[in-house]
Copies of this chain bind each other. A is one copy, B any other.
Amino acid sequence: MSAALASFAAAPASAAPAPDRLLSPDELEAALRDIGARRYHNLHPFHRRLHSGKLDRDQVRAWALNRYYYQAMIPVKDASIVARMEDAALRRIWRQRIVDHDGEAEGDGGIERWLRLTDGLGFPRAYVTSTRGILPATRFAVEAYVHFVRERTLLEAIASSLTELFAPTIISERVAGMLGSYDFVSKDTLAYFDKRMTQAPRDADFALAYAKEHATTPALQAAVLGALTFKCDVLWSQLDALHHAYVDPGLPPPGAWTPGAEA
């Protein structure tokens, strides 16, 4: 039995690059950006199809339905991080993420804006929020993310959010591509992404500065790089599952939403 399995919480989340010397903060940032350039889900064939108009309406619906669970769990993930912060100043900054997703009142916030997309795609809200039609692989990946931020160090939990460094690019591609290609989405149903264009860079700047300041040994830098690699895997595996179930070969697992079936 490998040492990696001796402690579940310490098991490697993913094969991650391990620097053999202390990187400067700028070198660490470059290594993080390199992970994004190679592993961020904008490179996935499903996203390339989504953005270039090559998916049919049911395939876009499957994406929005599954991605809802990811959106809905983001504040649970962020509250789990806030719960681990012993510094009020840090908690004040991070709690803004919960506010962004949950809103100030019913009908406001990122989750609500995601539901406007699933509304526009014809899903009853109760079906979407029940999450009973999502792919098991979506559930497992999203829950792996929540467990990760609860079980790893706070530095790793914060670093796992760094995929937001790469969000503005994918969002601008996505909105332009989807509006230009699909008559079943509109600027209003894609409102979620407008807000994220300003929220994601603000959040990513903070997390990146935190990681650069606190990853002060090669081992901590390896942990930060591993956390971002893990998070890229969380996003990528969700698209693998969508691709398998709804594109090629198109075999939804038992119990998952099936195009044409009543939601």
B2 in contact with A237 (CB, 8 Å): no
Known: A5-B76, A129-B2. A144 touches B146 (CB 8 A): no
A237 in contact with B233 (CB, 8 Å): no
From A73, A129, A255, name the one whose CB has the most chain B CB atoms within 10 angstroms: A255
B38 in contact with A254 (CB, 8 Å): yes
B241 in contact with A2 (CB, 8 Å): no
The interface on chain A, measured as residues whose beta carbon lies within 8 A of the other chain's beta carbons, has a size of 51
- Once bound together, how far apart are the Cα atoms of A19 and B4, in whole Å? 42
Is the C-beta of A136 less than 8 angstroms from some C-beta in chain B?
yes
> Which residues of chain B are near A233, meaning CB under 8 Å?
136, 139, 253, 255
For window 1-26 of A, CB contacts with B under 8 Å fall at: 1-2, 4-5, 8, 11-15
Is the C-beta of A227 less than 8 angstroms from some C-beta in chain B?
no
Q: How many copies does the complex hold?
A: 2
Report the 8 A-B pairs with minimum CB-CB distance, sorted nearest first: A136-B233, A2-B129, A244-B244, A15-B132, A140-B140, A140-B144, A39-B254, A137-B237
For window 114-146 of A, CB contacts with B under 8 Å fall at: 126, 129-133, 135-137, 139-141, 143-144, 146
- Once bound together, how far apart are the Cα atoms of A131 and B135, in whole Å? 24
Chain A residues packing against B (C-beta within 8 Å)? 1-2, 4-5, 8, 11-15, 38-39, 45, 72-73, 76, 102, 111, 126, 129-133, 135-137, 139-141, 143-144, 146-147, 229, 232-234, 236-237, 240-241, 243-245, 248-249, 251, 253-255
Q: Which residue of B lies closest to A137 (CB)?
A: B237
A137 in contact with B240 (CB, 8 Å): yes
24 contacting pairs across A/B (C-beta < 8 A): A4-B129, A5-B73, A5-B129, A11-B131, A12-B130, A14-B139, A14-B255, A15-B132, A15-B133, A15-B255, A45-B251, A135-B237, A136-B236, A136-B237, A137-B240, A140-B140, A232-B254, A237-B241, A237-B253, A240-B244, A240-B251, A240-B253, A241-B241, A248-B248
